[in-house]
Amino acid sequence: MIRAVVRYLDERSGTAPFLKKALRYVFPDHWSFLLGEVALYTFVILVGTGIYLTLFFEPSTATTYYTGHYLPLRGHEMSVAYRSAVDLSFKVRAGLLMRQTHHWAADVFVASIVLHMLRIFFTGAFRKPRDLTYYLGLTMLIVALLEGYLGYSLVDDLLSGMGLAIGYSVLMSIPFVGGNLALLLWGAPFPGKPDFESRMYVAHVFLLPILIATLLGLHLFLVAARHHTQFRESRRTTEKKVIGIPTFPGQAPRSLGLFFAVAAVLFLLGGLIQINPIWLWGPYHVAQGTNGAQPDWYLGWLIGALRLVPSFDVTIGHYTLVPNPFWGGALFPLLVFLILYLSPWLERRLTGEYGFRHLLDRPRDAPWRTALGAALFTWVFVVFLAGASDRVFVSFGVSYVGQIWVYRVLVVILPVVALFATRRLCLALQESERLGRIRKQAEAEARGEMPQPE
């Protein structure tokens, strides 16, 4: 059987040598190296469930009236898009499972990319020769954010409409060209031409997924071409040789097992925990809004930033130069991603290390990088938390206005605190390790053993 398959393939494609090499490709084994795989497998689930949803969803803003079984929406005027999303949740068997799994997968997709990125950042895996891989990964993160935003915006429920209004406003606020860009994308002032829905749709189900898949392919190709990084674990792990388990039989069942674990978690969530119950929100109308409208978590840092900026437009005389949403909604994410994109270059400039780096640092081994990273992510995290301050007030009674002022201060202070505290922590850990080694050596000498060379 195996012989037949191998022979068939090799005789027709000549790939036996390649296959052998691929099966014996070396994977360094560490749990944190699997985070990227989680993102990859979540993407697979997203594509699968997404295709299923496209079979039922109708991206049209044409007006219709709901006549289905769900009482509270009976007779409501709504778009065909919203109606078909409600119908695929209620009338299509397993439709709600697929929709919820798709939405949970989107949330988890970005979460796993972020975790993967944190691992890459704090171990210095973005250094040459993997900087290009890292840039591709960051780009995928940006595309994933946009893809998720379009996904929940397509449905045209009350929350998606409010989210689109905010996205439109942020685009509008870009100095000088914002208004023109918004007109180009929406086709007309908000809520835009009816075509806007199909534009979002084609971007969500075709352009952006293809883009992600392409970037993903390149990303994986580069990973394979340069081999994995590895931790400096024993004397055998060096900058010259990579040590690990082969694709087959070692890594294959591990990785496949992880795929099924991802699928299990996502489908269990999709079936058991309700996400974005669009039938409860009702359809969107420009003149309506609901309290505490929030974006999905991965855009929470942007709503936080929008809320923290005090009331001002930058004006010269009577000319409005920079409208308010620009600072929180556009400049802040641009800055964060700019810093992330520049990190490999900055590190080369600051450390003067231009060589190849295959061995990873533990965070404590590179105190400055770790400290700067901690400062950056603390900054983002504080702003992210600020985005939920209204719900914190409703649930816990902590004054919203008070929280906003505290966050405005913390946004400046905490990153600095994180910077110095993290650096101190790294140095302290290094020091305690050094002491531990000396003690061990001393104990060994006291027992009369030969001191082991490090």
Partner 1 sequence: MHAVVRRALATVIVVLALPAAAGAQPGVGVKAKTGKGLYAAYCLSCHGVDGSGVTSTSHPPGVLDVHGLGPPLKGVGALAADFYLTIGYMPLADPHEQPRHTKSPFDDREIAALVAYVASLGKGAGVPHPQPQRGDISRGLSLFTEHCAGCHQVVAEGGYVTNAVAPPLHQATPVQIAEAVRIGPYLMPTFPASQISDSQLNSIIAYVQWAKHPDDRGGWSIGRIGPVPEGLVAWLIAATALVGCCLVIGRRFQR
Partner 2 sequence: MSALRRWAIALGVLLLGRKKRQPRFADRPRIVPPGDADPRAEWLVLVLLLFAAAAAVGFIVVYSFNHLAHQTQYLGLALGLAFACVAAALILVAKRLVVTEELEEDYPLPHPTTQEELEQLVEESGDRLTRKRLLLTGAGAAAGAIGAALVVPALSLGPLLDTGGFYETPWRRGVRLVDEHGKLLLLDEIEDGTFYTAYAQRADKELLGSPLVVVRFEPSQLHLPPKRRDWAPGGVVAYSKICTHAGCAVALFRKPTFPVVEPGPALICPCHYSTFDPTRGAKVIFGPAGRPLPQLPLAVDSSGVLRAAGNFSGPVGPSWSGVRSKAPRNAS
Task: List contacts with partner 1 (CB under 8 A).
Answer: 29-35, 38, 70-76, 89-90, 96, 100, 104, 107-108, 111-112, 115, 158-159, 231, 233, 254, 257-258, 261-262, 265-266, 269, 271-277, 279-282, 288-297, 300, 388, 390-391, 393-394, 397, 400-401
Q: Which does 108 bind (CB under 5 to 8 A by kind): partner 1, partner 2, none?
A: partner 1
Cβ–Cβ under 8 Å, residues 254 and 89: no
For residue 54, the Cα-to-chain-centroid distance in whole angstroms is 23
Q: Which does 233 bind (CB under 5 to 8 A by kind): partner 1, partner 2, none?
A: partner 1
Q: Which does 57 bind (CB under 5 to 8 A by kind): partner 2, partner 1, none?
A: none
Q: Nearest Cα to 158, choosing from 276, 55, 315, 329? A: 276
Cβ–Cβ under 8 Å, residues 422 and 370: yes
Q: Please classify residue 86 by burial: count the beta carbons closer than 10 Å to its beta carbon, then call 0-12 exposed, 13-18 middle and 19+ buried.
A: buried
Burial string for 95-131 (b: 16+ CB within 10 Å, else e) reads: bbbbbbbbbbbbbbbbbbbbebbebbbbbbbbbbebb
Q: Which does 148 bind (CB under 5 to 8 A by kind): partner 1, partner 2, none?
A: none
Q: Which does 76 bind (CB under 5 to 8 A by kind): partner 1, partner 2, none?
A: partner 1
State which amino acid sits at residue 249.
Answer: P
* Closest CB 289 distance from partner 1, rounded Å: 5
Distances (CA, A) of 233 to 127, 174, 240, 244, 441: 19, 49, 14, 12, 19
* Closest CB 386 distance from partner 1, rounded Å: 12
In which region does residue 397 sit, left (phi positive, over 0), alpha (psi from -120 to 50) or beta (all else)? left
Nearer to partner 2, 286 or 342 (CB): 286
The CB density around residue 135, as the number of other CB atoms within 10 Å, is 17
Cβ–Cβ under 8 Å, residues 127 and 350: no
* Closest CB 255 distance from partner 2, rounded Å: 9
Nearer to partner 2, 24 or 437 (CB): 24
* Closest CB 165 distance from partner 2, rounded Å: 4
Nearer to partner 2, 148 or 323 (CB): 323
State which amino acid sits at residue 290.
Answer: T
* Closest CB 297 distance from partner 2, rounded Å: 17
Nearer to partner 1, 73 or 182 (CB): 73
Distances (CA, A) of 335 to 301, 330, 349, 380, 382: 13, 9, 19, 11, 15
Q: Which does 166 bind (CB under 5 to 8 A by kind): partner 1, partner 2, none?
A: partner 2
Nearer to partner 2, 295 or 373 (CB): 295
* Closest CB 131 distance from partner 1, rounded Å: 24
Q: Which does 355 bind (CB under 5 to 8 A by kind): partner 2, partner 1, none?
A: none
* Closest CB 287 distance from partner 1, rounded Å: 8
Q: Which does 74 bind (CB under 5 to 8 A by kind): partner 1, partner 2, none?
A: partner 1
Q: Which does 90 bind (CB under 5 to 8 A by kind): partner 2, partner 1, none?
A: partner 1
Nearer to partner 1, 50 or 282 (CB): 282
Nearer to partner 1, 388 or 425 (CB): 388
Element (H, E) at 320: strand 319-322
* Closest CB 81 distance from partner 1, rounded Å: 18
* Closest CB 53 distance from partner 1, rounded Å: 15
Nearer to partner 1, 65 or 420 (CB): 65
Helix (H, G, I), strand (E, B) or coil at 85: helix
State which amino acid sits at residue 385.
Answer: L
Distance, CA of 329 to CA of 349 (rounded, Å): 30
* Closest CB 29 distance from partner 2, rounded Å: 8
Nearer to partner 1, 211 or 392 (CB): 392
Nearer to partner 1, 264 or 428 (CB): 264
Distance, CA of 164 to CA of 123 (rounded, Å): 37
Q: Nearest Cα to 152, choosing from 206, 201, 222, 213? A: 201
Q: Which does 104 bind (CB under 5 to 8 A by kind): partner 2, partner 1, none?
A: partner 1
**DSSP assignment of 138-176:** HHHHHHHHHHHHHHHHHT-BHHHHHHHHHHHHHHHTSTT
